[in-house]
């Protein structure tokens, strides 16, 4: 008999998680059983060894065919980039070395195929899970493959969602690409899961499908049963279990307001990000994975203000070649042209490690061997990336951005290497745009204080507040315990930003911002007032930030910013901005 679940309290439980895909959904729970995939280890007879190995080989072959079909289906529905994950899963199953190791366990330990396979993959997933965030998310891919092969070993081929007859909210231990594949809008309203992070492949797929998802809810599957009613709020990253009538009514209104808002925001797409008194701002989008490029244009951004290139280095034990990178950058540049794409050179290290770079453990990785520091120590690797970027600039819309610059000699070294790469390409008579602009991320306090000297040497500055705030306030950006101390509106942060903007302007270069603060609704009027030239935010934030810009009077917010800069606490500044915004932005939650 399955254990009875504890009854839920009547008051709605608001469970905080991580928003993986925006949107609000209200509906009944379909609980995806997890123990379904448990395997019992069994000792098999000598005569069973060969048939058991054959069964495993068949199951793997069947899974590979299924992955091919799923990839083709996904490609048809949401494009080639999104389908690549299934190809990646298929390739994992083609690795003979890995199969041989499992077969050796079946043979030597006389273990049944399902248990040998499951144990091997669990161990691999656990090893990945012990590493950094990106690897933890790759562990989800490994578990997904495990589930698929086990299903084949049991001869089950009917996807679980076929049991679903009405649209439901799927609650599962983990969001996986194969789960999301079944994401028929008519059957699945939203996902809520115990595990997972924002950058998992499945989360990216969900965003492409436009299905709300909240992940990282820890014990949700243990607290909930089939047919419970839940609200998944993918905007705020929370799930409400068995909400009371008042909460339900409030959310229904919120949901329809949101839908009407999206319809209205769609109309904003082709309008410029100009203030009401005609000061033009560039409003670009940040891209972390290539499959987000479509969303940039759909949401009306003026190009890509930050292309994080780390994804090319993750999941691989070898460095991406110049040619591979060139193909990728060129494809992206062609997709957004004539709008710009600002390609940031590799920013690995700290919380993003890759098997292709041997980064030894460090006591303080955030202050350690990362980003440009690695690039400068590995000039061949840097050269390949720079050449790929320069070559991709066939239409003049590609720019280079250097991360984590902390001193002028470091910048000069990077600039010299870029010049060398340019000369080499000239010798090879490569057809390049006459100039590729170079910018520096201002994300280290020393760079912020030296912004004038940096601006003299480059074409633009882009303020990376995610790191700048953590280094300035000495608050680890990933530490929940002290998250309340991480303040975009801290007076020290604002003063430093203002000085960077002024320094850039005094040297005739434009100054943008690509950290999360660029999408902080309360910061937007202040940033405009301080004279920021560009904001780069996640594609989904573009419409609302554009709305704020277009409804803002530059002269008003100049005064607002001046006043804010005289205050000495975050609270006073936040209150000042709220007072300014409340009457003007009733439809925006601040």
Scan for tokens 């950094």, then name that residue: 132
The structure tokens listed for 171 are 């609650």
The helix/strand/coil state of 53 is: helix
The site for ligand PEP, by CB under 6 A, has a size of 10
The structure tokens listed for 185 are 């809008």
Binding mask 428-447 for Mg ion (x = CB under 5 A): ---------------x----
**Minimal distance in Å, beta carbon 344 to ligand PEP?**
8
User: What, of ligand PEP, Mg ion, none, does residue 515 touch, CB below 5 to 8 Å by kind?
Assistant: ligand PEP
DSSP string across 102-115:
HHHHHHHH-B-HHH
From the candidates 89, 201, 299, 330, which is the catalytic residue? 201
User: What, of Mg ion, ligand PEP, none, does residue 514 touch, CB below 5 to 8 Å by kind?
Assistant: ligand PEP
464 interacts with ligand PEP by CB under 6 A? yes
Choice between 216 and 403, CB closer to ligand PEP? 403
Put residue 110 in one of left, alpha, beta given phi > 0 → left and psi -120 to 50 → alpha: left
464 interacts with Mg ion by CB under 5 A? yes
Scan for tokens 């915004």, then name that residue: 581
**C-beta of residue 516 within 8 angstroms of C-beta of residue 486:** no
User: What, of Mg ion, ligand PEP, none, does residue 114 touch, CB below 5 to 8 Å by kind?
Assistant: none
467 interacts with Mg ion by CB under 5 A? yes
467 interacts with ligand PEP by CB under 6 A? yes
Is 514 designated active site?
A: yes
525 interacts with Mg ion by CB under 5 A? no
216 interacts with Mg ion by CB under 5 A? no
Using the contact rule CB under 5 A, the part of the chain among 323-331, 349-357, 417-425, 457-465 near Mg ion is 457-465
Q: 25: which residues sit within 8 A by CB, 6+ positions away?
A: 169, 189, 190, 211, 212, 231, 232, 234, 255
3-class DSSP string for 212-269: CEEECCCCHHHHCCCCCEEEEECCCCEEEECCCHHHHHHHHHHHHHHHHHHHHHHHHC
Tell me how many degrees the CA angle 138-143-144 measures, rounded to the nearest 5. 95
Pick from 465, 488, 490, 552 the residue near ligand PEP by CB under 6 A. Answer: 465
Is 356 designated active site?
A: no
Cis, peptide link before residue 435, omega less than 30° from 0: no
Pick from 66, 137, 322, 347 the residue near ligand PEP by CB under 6 A. Answer: 347
User: What, of Mg ion, ligand PEP, none, does residue 308 touch, CB below 5 to 8 Å by kind?
Assistant: ligand PEP
512 interacts with ligand PEP by CB under 6 A? no
Choice between 299 and 477, CB closer to Mg ion? 477
Scan for tokens 């953590």, then name that residue: 470
Binding mask 296-315 for ligand PEP (x = CB under 6 A): ----------x-x-------
Chain positions contacting Mg ion, by CB under 5 A: 443, 464, 467
Chain positions contacting ligand PEP, by CB under 6 A: 306, 308, 347, 443, 464-467, 514-515
Residues with catalytic annotation? 201, 514
């Amino acid at each position: 008999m399955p254990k009875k679940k504890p009854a839920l309290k009547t008051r709605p439980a608001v469970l905080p998680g991580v928003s993986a895909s925006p949107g609000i959904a209200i509906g009944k729970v379909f609980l995806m059983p997890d123990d379904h995939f448990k395997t019992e280890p069994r000792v098999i007879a000598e005569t069973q060894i060969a048939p058991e190995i054959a069964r495993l080989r068949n199951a793997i072959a069947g899974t590979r065919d299924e992955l091919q079909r799923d990839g083709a289906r996904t490609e048809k529905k949401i494009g080639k980039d999104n389908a690549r994950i299934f190809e990646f899963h298929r390739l994992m199953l083609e690795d003979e070395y890995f199969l041989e190791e499992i077969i050796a366990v079946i043979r030597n330990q006389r273990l049944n195929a399902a248990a040998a396979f499951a144990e091997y993959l669990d161990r691999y997933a656990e090893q990945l899970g012990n590493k950094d965030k990106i690897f933890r998310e790759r562990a989800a891919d490994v578990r997904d493959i495990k589930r698929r092969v086990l299903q084949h070993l049991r001869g089950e081929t009917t996807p679980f969602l076929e049991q679903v007859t009405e649209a439901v909210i799927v609650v599962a231990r983990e969001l996986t690409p194969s789960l999301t594949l079944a994401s028929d809008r008519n059957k699945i309203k939203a996902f809520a899961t115990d595990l997972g992070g924002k950058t998992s492949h499945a989360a990216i797929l969900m965003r492409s499908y436009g299905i709300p998802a909240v992940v990282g809810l820890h014990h949700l599957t243990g607290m909930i049963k089939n047919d419970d009613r839940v609200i998944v709020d993918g905007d705020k990253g929370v799930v409400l279990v068995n909400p009371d009538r008042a909460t339900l009514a409030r959310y229904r209104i919120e949901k329809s307001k949101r839908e009407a808002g999206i319809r209205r925001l769609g109309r904003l797409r082709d309008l410029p990000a100009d203030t009401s008194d005609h000061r033009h701002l560039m409003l670009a989008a940040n891209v972390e994975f290539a499959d987000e490029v479509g969303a940039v244009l759909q949401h009306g951004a003026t190009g890509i203000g930050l292309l994080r290139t780390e994804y090319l280095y993750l999941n691989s034990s070898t460095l991406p070649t110049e040619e591979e990178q060139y193909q990728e950058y060129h494809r992206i540049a062609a997709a957004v042209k004539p709008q710009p794409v600002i390609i940031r050179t590799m920013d690995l290290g700290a919380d993003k490690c890759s098997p292709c770079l041997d980064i030894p453990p460090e006591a303080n990785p955030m202050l350690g061997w990362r980003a440009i520091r690695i690039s400068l120590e590995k000039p061949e690797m840097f050269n390949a990336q720079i050449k790929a970027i320069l070559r991709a600039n066939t239409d003049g819309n590609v720019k280079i951005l250097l991360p984590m610059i902390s001193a002028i000699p470091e910048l000069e070294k990077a600039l010299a290497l870029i010049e060398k790469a340019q000369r080499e390409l000239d010798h090879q008579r490569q057809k390049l745009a006459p100039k590729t602009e170079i910018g520096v991320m201002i994300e280290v306090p020393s760079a912020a204080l030296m912004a004038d000297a940096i601006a003299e040497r480059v074409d633009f500055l882009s303020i990376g507040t995610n790191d700048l705030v953590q280094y300035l306030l000495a608050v680890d950006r990933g530490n929940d315990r002290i998250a309340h101390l991480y303040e975009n509106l801290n007076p020290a942060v604002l003063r430093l930003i203002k000085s960077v903007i002024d320094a850039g302007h005094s040297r005739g270069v434009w100054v943008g911002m690509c950290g999360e603060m660029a999408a902080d609704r309360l910061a937007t009027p202040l940033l405009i007032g301080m004279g920021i030239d560009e904001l780069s935010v996640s594609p989904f934030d573009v419409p609302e930030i554009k709305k704020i810009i277009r409804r803002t009077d530059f002269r008003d917010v100049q005064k607002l910013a001046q006043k804010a800069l005289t205050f000495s606490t975050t609270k006073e500044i936040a209150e000042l901005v709220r007072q300014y915004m409340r009457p003007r932005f009733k439809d925006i939650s601040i």
